[in-house]
Amino acid sequence: MAKKTAKGSARAPRRTDSLSRELIIQTAIEILDSGGEKALTLRALTVRLSTGYGAIYHHVADKSDLLATATDDVITGVLSGAFADADPRTALRRLALGLFDAIDAHPWVGAELSRQPWRPALLDFYESIGRLLDDLDVPGKARFDAAGTLVNYVLGVAAQNAANARLRAGSGTDRETFLEKAATQWTQIDPGRYPFVHAAATQLGEHEDREQFLAGVEIFLAGISALR
């Protein structure tokens, strides 16, 4: 039976099993995915985990530490399966797509990486890309620029898609309707002044973000071939 507080309200029973850091981080990720950064509070964690603040503070310092650690956990998952039986180009595709998909599934990750680009998991990501570029004989002088180009491309596209998703959610418009409206506007512009944009209207309305992202990765891979 739930206990009563001093004011007589019911209080949820405390958990009797041990509370691990892994469980705290996983629960934080679930809260972030469902409600965003504003939803992640230590109070929300104590309620979800049926525990007290002391048990949380035993494993994490504060909300910032919790958010950073959750981000590292997601990125570490991207790195874990990228290299199995893969040549350097395949591994680069997997890394790029893995980070893109991770930020698409967890939009808060992109924002956290932008705030703290020195996070260990992102440094591991950079290091992995650097080694793969070395394997592809990209010259040392160009390797830094090539690695930065790829990471910035992934983070930029993923962040833009996440922002678009939040915008559509706020307006109650789904992606298909939003693209149809944008494509219609493109068809109505002056083709004499904007011939490319006018001709691309159909593709705008029909394109898939993930496929277009992968096309960009292929352009990147073609570009680094010219650096050797």
Rounded CA separation 169/171 (Å): 5
46: pLDDT strictly greater than 60: yes
Q: Which of 44-58, 75-89, 91-105, 143-157 has the lowest mean pLDDT?
A: 75-89
Residue-level pLDDT at 129: 94
Which residues are CB-neighbours of 68 under 8 A, at least 6 positions away? Answer: 112, 116, 119
Closest to 143 in 3D by CA, of 222, 228, 38: 228
Residue-level pLDDT at 195: 95
Distance of CA 227 to the CA centre of its chain: 29
SS3 of residue 215 by DSSP: helix
Taking only the tens place, the pLDDT of each residue in 180-225 is: 999 999 999 999 999 999 999 989 988 899 999 999 999 999 999 8
Q: What's the DSSP call for residue 4? A: E
11: pLDDT strictly greater than 60: no
Residue-level pLDDT at 174: 87
Closest to 20 in 3D by CA, of 76, 47, 59: 59
Question: Which is more confident, 144 or 11?
Answer: 144
Taking only the tens place, the pLDDT of each residue in 148-175 is: 999 999 989 988 887 787 777 778 888 8
35: pLDDT strictly greater than 80: yes
18: pLDDT strictly greater than 80: no
106: pLDDT strictly greater than 80: yes
Q: Which of 1-10, 22-31, 80-89, 108-117 has the lowest mean pLDDT?
A: 1-10
Q: What are phi and psi of 9, to 5 degrees?
A: -80, 155
Closest to 113 in 3D by CA, of 70, 168, 59, 149: 70
Residue-level pLDDT at 17: 54
Residue-level pLDDT at 205: 86
| Chain mean pLDDT for the chain | 87
What amino acid is encoded at 84 in this protein? Answer: A
End-to-end CA distance of the chain: 70
Question: Mean pLDDT throughout 98-114?
Answer: 89
Most confident by average pLDDT, 21-25, 119-123, 172-176:
21-25
Question: 207: left (phi > 0), else alpha (psi -120 to 50), else beta?
Answer: beta
